[in-house]
């Protein structure tokens, strides 16, 4: 994905990452993960999808990796997040 975006911009992936961080204060990967996790939180609360289905919908093919990233950004697992918010 990063290569595709950089190509559309007509620059190298490394230069794109440098410019992106200078402009946003975040790495492209952090920005993308935050976006995906925010959408995942929304889906967990507004649908009956299983956590692994949410992971796939927001662009994670590996559920364990999704769960690790979700916990990094929210402090809790996807399952616990959903349980705590539905009480």
Mean pLDDT in consecutive groups of 10 residues from the start of the chain, 87 residues: 90 95 96 97 94 96 96 95 83
* Cβ neighbours of residue 55 closer than 8 Å, sequence gap 6 or more: 40, 61, 62, 63, 66, 67, 78
Written as six digits, the tokens of 6 are 């950089």
Secondary structure string (H, E, C) spanning 13-26:
HHHHHHHHHHHHCC
Q: Determine the 3-state secondary structure of 58 from DSSP.
A: coil
C-alpha–C-alpha distance, residues 80 and 67, integer Å: 11
What CATH code would you report for 27-85? 1.10.10.60
pLDDT of 20 reads 95
pLDDT of 87 reads 66
């Amino acid at each position: 994905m990063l290569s595709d975006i950089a190509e559309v911009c007509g620059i190298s992936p490394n230069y794109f990452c440098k410019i992106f961080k200078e402009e946003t204060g975040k790495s492209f990967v952090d920005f993308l993960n935050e976006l995906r996790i925010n959408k995942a939180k929304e889906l967990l609360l507004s649908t009956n999808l299983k956590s692994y289905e949410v992971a796939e919908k927001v662009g994670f093919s590996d559920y364990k990796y999704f769960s690790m990233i979700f916990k990094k950004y929210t402090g809790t697992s996807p399952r616990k997040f959903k349980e705590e918010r539905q009480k």
